[in-house]
Amino acid sequence: MSQHRSELLMPAGNLRKLKIAILYGADAVYLGTPDMSLRTKSEFSLEDVIEGVKFCHQHGRRAYLTLNLYSHNKDIPKLDEYIDTVRQVKPDGLIIADPGVFQYVRERAPEIPLHVSTQANICSWLSVQFWQNQGADLAVLAREVSFPELEEIREKCPDIKLEAFVHGAMCMTYSGRCLLSNFMAERGANQGNCANSCRWNYKFHMRLKDGTVQELIVDDSNHDMFEFLLEEGVRPGEFLPIQEDERGSYILNSKDLCLMPKLDDYLRIGVDSLKVEGRGKSEYYAAVVARAYRMAIDDYYADPENWDASDYMGELETVGNRGYTLAFHKGRLTNLSHGYEHTAAIATWEYAGVVSEVTEEAFLVEVKNKLEPGDVLEMVSPIARNTILLRAYDYEIAASGQRKDVVHGSTKSVIRLPFSLFEQEDQSDLRSNFPAFTVIRKERALSDEQWKRLQLDKTAQAMEVRDSTGETAYKRRRNALVEAIEADTNEKRFKTNRVGTQGCCGKGCNGCLIFWQGDEYAVARDVLRKRKQGEQLSRAEANEFKLPV
């Protein structure tokens, strides 16, 4: 086994996301300014880029700048100024896709390491060798490269660094080079301004012989008469169902890439850089995804024989996603890689807030989503493996000392969480392991439709990972989701107990006298004493202990 350690490469959409990604374990980040980096929504100014690169270097990490546009004539005059600026920043690499731009930079700034972007569609060892001969230090492989192909590329190209995507959104077009957004919305997908046309819903229409067009309505009176299927030319007999409800159909919607279940393969063959997509994703995404992969990579190198991906998948499931897929890992996509029934990114947890400052006696927290009485906040450390749970019944506004039952994220409020609330925690641990930029999450209430979507996603992912047919379970989950969509109820529920009856929430924490003194809760108390502060009883446990729910 190679002793070389793979780096974790995280996206940075702005300066704060960059700092969070680095603090949560990224070995390197990639970033760029809006005009030249294929991300028109990038929030980096030139000053931010300079500060970001310095921050990375101060922490012993690397920063790669993006120059991966496909140049038009109008872009060329900007290159000299860009290169002069880049030289001042001293990045650890420059990511380029256009061969002309590659040659231009190589001649004018030969000291800068050059990385070939995924936009160059590198899918073979022959292409890797070509770019190596042109002077590339690293080749970013296309998402379409299967793992057997990657193994062969690694074997035949040992003297150039290889980078592979392991996590993030997938595009239904080849290496993300899409014209659908341009055609449908006049927004350039390859300029980072994609309208996500592939995730829109589409309705069936029929054209009558007289030239009129009518919507094809599928309702209770005719839905048993026909079914819509897609058959691809080289796979005769394989029919992909198209599900449509009153909102339309999502025939082009890809699930999100997640190679965590196969990460040990990539580490074993020595892929130099493991890349996560998502410069447009949230701070919470940057923190939690970096943390999960950091733990997974470190644990693999510490004990590869006993490495188990399931230890980290639970963490990735707390981040909004469209369902996870191995995508092209095994060489071909299946219907399990697409979400036909539902397109939204969901999770059972959501971003609650981020620590903005740690004082002598409290955390100051910027609120990101609505906080209500009874919410259990989970502080996710960028340093330690353990998280800390806290049940909150009201919230102190830091600026005024006013106490509120509900705080909305839209108000940009900063709340104060005194260390005294953390009754079972060591205060020195709080200060050392939960610094500024620590993210905080909380449970999210989901509709029945969303719960069914998550169940279907997990079933599909298990089938992909295990090479299992599992058609019976998959069809059962899919049918349950379709029924939930048709029911169209707005009622939402949390995974664990919330507020119950008789003044007891059913979970017992933070000194609840009813729970801790009532004889009827003795067994439940014994269970909770063995758990950390704020940890909840499940609904099944609450029923077992006959707690009011």
The CATH code of the domain that includes 373 is 2.40.30.10
| Tens digits of residue pLDDT in 24-54 | 999 999 998 766 554 445 678 878 988 999 9
Task: Tell me which of 47 and 418 has the higher pLDDT.
Answer: 418
Which among 88, 17, 8 has a CA at the least distance from the CA of 52? 17
What's at 181, amino acid-wise? S
Strands 7-11 and 362-367: what pairing?
A: unpaired
Tell me what the mean pLDDT of segment 162-179 comes to.
76
Question: What percent of the chain stands above pLDDT 70?
Answer: 76
Element (H, E) at 215: strand 213-215
Which pLDDT score is estimated for 38?
A: 45
Last residue of a domain, one of 291, 316, 341: 316
Tell me what the mean pLDDT of segment 456-477 comes to.
86
Which pLDDT score is estimated for 239?
A: 61
Which pLDDT score is estimated for 47?
A: 85
DSSP bridge partners of 168: 257
Does the pLDDT at position 203 exceed 60? no
* Letter string b/e over residues 136-162, b meaning 16 or more CB atoms within 10 A of that residue's CB: bbbbbbbbbbebebbeebbeebeebbb
What's at 302, amino acid-wise? A
Instruction: Mark whether 71 and 136 lie in a shared domain.
Output: yes
Ranges 183-197, 260-274, 403-417: which has the least confidence: 183-197
| Tens digits of residue pLDDT in 471-499 | 788 889 888 888 888 887 888 888 765 55
CA distance 20 to 366: 14
Instruction: Tell whether 76 is covered by a domain.
Output: yes
CA distance 543 to 135: 65
Instruction: Mark whether 158 and 212 lie in a shared domain.
Output: no
Does the pLDDT at position 162 exceed 50? yes
CA atoms 451, 455, 456, 458: torsion sign: positive
Instruction: Tell whether 406 is covered by a domain.
Output: yes
Instruction: Mark whether 142 and 66 lie in a shared domain.
Output: yes
Which among 484, 491, 490 has a CA at the least distance from the CA of 455? 484
Q: Where are the extended beta strands (E) located within 2-121?
A: 7-11, 28-31, 62-67, 93-96, 114-116
Instruction: Mark whether 366 and 305 lie in a shared domain.
Output: no
Which pLDDT score is estimated for 502?
A: 41
Q: Report how many domains make up the chain.
A: 4
Instruction: Mark whether 361 and 266 lie in a shared domain.
Output: no
Does the pLDDT at position 131 exceed 60? yes
Question: Tokens 């290169």, residue?
Answer: 83
Instruction: Mark whether 402 and 510 lie in a shared domain.
Output: no
| Tens digits of residue pLDDT in 385-394 | 989 988 888 8
Instruction: Mark whether 295 and 406 lie in a shared domain.
Output: no
Instruction: Tell whether 157 is covered by a domain.
Output: yes
CA distance 272 to 8: 9
CA distance 197 to 182: 9
Instruction: Mark whether 27 and 58 lie in a shared domain.
Output: yes
CA distance 363 to 356: 8
Instruction: Mark whether 67 and 191 lie in a shared domain.
Output: no
What mean pLDDT value characterizes the chain? 83
Instruction: Tell whether 251 is covered by a domain.
Output: no
pTM comes to 0.83
Contact present, 125 and 157 (Cβ < 8 Å):
yes
On the 0-12 / 13-18 / 19+ scale of CB atoms within 10 A, 318 is buried
Which among 339, 346, 345, 347 has a CA at the least distance from the CA of 249? 339
Could you give the angle at the alpha carbon of 287 between the alpha carbons of 154 and 301, nearest 5°?
40
User: Could you give the angle at which helices 15-23 and 283-302 cross, rounded to 10 degrees?
Assistant: 30
Contact present, 293 and 166 (Cβ < 8 Å):
yes
Instruction: Mark whether 154 and 12 lie in a shared domain.
Output: yes
DSSP symbols for 251-280: TT-B-EEE-GGGHHHHHHTT-SEEEE--TT
Instruction: Mark whether 164 and 180 lie in a shared domain.
Output: no
Tell me what the mean pLDDT of segment 316-325 comes to.
94
Instruction: Mark whether 159 and 40 lie in a shared domain.
Output: yes
Instruction: Tell whether 47 is covered by a domain.
Output: yes
Does the pLDDT at position 236 exceed 90? no
The boundaries of the domain holding residue 354 are 349-443
| Tens digits of residue pLDDT in 328-365 | 999 877 778 777 666 788 999 999 999 999 999 999 99
Does the pLDDT at position 470 exceed 90? no
Give pairs for 410-415: CB < 8 Å, separation 24+.
411/367, 412/366, 412/367, 413/366, 413/367, 414/356, 414/364, 414/365, 414/366, 414/367, 415/353, 415/364, 415/365, 415/367, 415/371
